[in-house]
Amino acid sequence: MKSDDIFIRKLVVHILDKNIGLPVLSDLELSLTSEISEFITKHIRKVLKDASLKEAKFINNECQAQKLCGKLKEDYSSFLMVTRKFASKFFEQMNNFIDISNGDLACCLFEISNKKYYAMIKFNYKESYIHQVKNVENGTLNTIIKQKTVLPNDNQRVEEFVIINLDDFSIKLLEKKFDKDGSKQFYISNEILECTSDLSGKDKVKVLEKTTKEMVSKYFDDSDISKIVEFKRIVSENINDSSVVDVHEIADTVFGDIAEVREEYIKQIQKNGISEKKIPVNFDQTRNVYKKQKIVTDTGIEINLLVDEFTNKDKIEFINNEDGTVSILLKNIKEFK
């Protein structure tokens, strides 16, 4: 889903504050001023690039959430009713999961490339300080007070976000786990939407990295980090070139010289929940993680390098000593900072 041209069609905000005791549900839609539309649009653009955004789908056609979206698809005049139903479900779960943050639920209809979407953005409250002017007996007193219901600004990340395609009811989802009966659970996907969700692209790459490290530790010398560096180099290049991480390219490059290890690697990745050959990712904010590699020695020395520099023998060389230790030679250093 590209985010070039976003048109906000309808917007309503419901207040979900457990301190009040009941949700404050709006009876009217918001007037779409340019400032408000820009505020919502920026958050939609930001979440569509979020590395933790994941794909989800309704469990079946009988889910109440999908039925509500179906009504909305058929008749836009049901917008307020649908949003109030969803807001009430959110508030109900806020009382079941004690550590869910208070916040405002912004519900909107928007279009991208003539495709219609329904979004729910939970703006969790933040604390901030504002000035207050008081007229007292001796004159004007300017003071500072704490404001406990500040919304995230358009540059801050929103942690709970739902986008539903009203054509095929596919879902894009950002959510957090909260405590219920002593265990951390997802309340949006499990209780409100009744949907199943895939790992985000970011989490899938973490699974690839973890599996790669396990295979390297199992079959290769722990002091040889070249294969981890190769893994990071491929991920970084894939992200920069196409925003898709090629699983088989990683397997071929890192383990291709030993067919048995390569095949075991592929099987282990599939066992860990990754079935696709290419993983779409949104890594605008975290792509630099895979451009760098840190070495920490048992003597307490840390070295941070770009992955491309590990193969540059004009800058660094790893020397395997006869006693089993490794020496690291740094070359052509002009100055220390």
The pTM assigned to this predicted structure is 0.78
**Residue 53 Cα distances to 45, 87, 92, 170, angstroms:** 12, 21, 24, 13
| Helices of type H across the chain | 34-48, 64-74, 79-96, 187, 201-219, 226-242, 247-255, 259-271
Tens digit of each residue's pLDDT (9 = 90 or more) over 165-175: 999 999 999 99
Report percent pLDDT > 90 for the chain: 49
pLDDT: which is higher, 333 or 44: 44
Tens digit of each residue's pLDDT (9 = 90 or more) over 112-158: 998 999 999 999 998 888 888 999 888 998 999 888 888 888 888 99
Query: Do β-strands 302-306 and 244-246 pair in parallel, antiparallel, or remain unpaired?
Result: unpaired
Tens digit of each residue's pLDDT (9 = 90 or more) over 188-235: 999 999 999 888 888 898 899 899 989 988 888 755 677 888 888 888
**Residue 210 Cα distances to 6, 43, 214, 262, 284, angstroms:** 37, 31, 6, 15, 21
Specify the pLDDT at position 1. Answer: 54
Segments making up each domain of the chain, as ranges: 6-124+151-197, 201-330
Query: In angstroms, rounded to a whole number, what is the distance separating the alpha carbons of residues 64 and 92?
Result: 15
Compute the average pLDDT of residues 301-308: 76
Compute the average pLDDT of residues 51-70: 93
Query: In angstroms, rounded to a whole number, what is the distance separating the alpha carbons of residues 83 and 264?
Result: 48
Inform me whether the pLDDT recorded for 285 exceeds 50. Answer: no
Specify the pLDDT at position 127. Answer: 85
Inform me whether the pLDDT recorded for 293 exceeds 80. Answer: no
Tens digit of each residue's pLDDT (9 = 90 or more) over 232-249: 888 888 877 778 889 999
Tens digit of each residue's pLDDT (9 = 90 or more) over 71-107: 999 999 999 999 999 999 999 999 998 889 999 999 9
Query: In angstroms, rounded to a whole number, what is the distance separating the alpha carbons of residues 102 and 3?
Result: 28
Half-sphere exposure of 126 (CA within 13 A, CB side): 13
Residues 6+ apart with CB under 8 A from 55: 170, 171, 172, 173, 197, 198
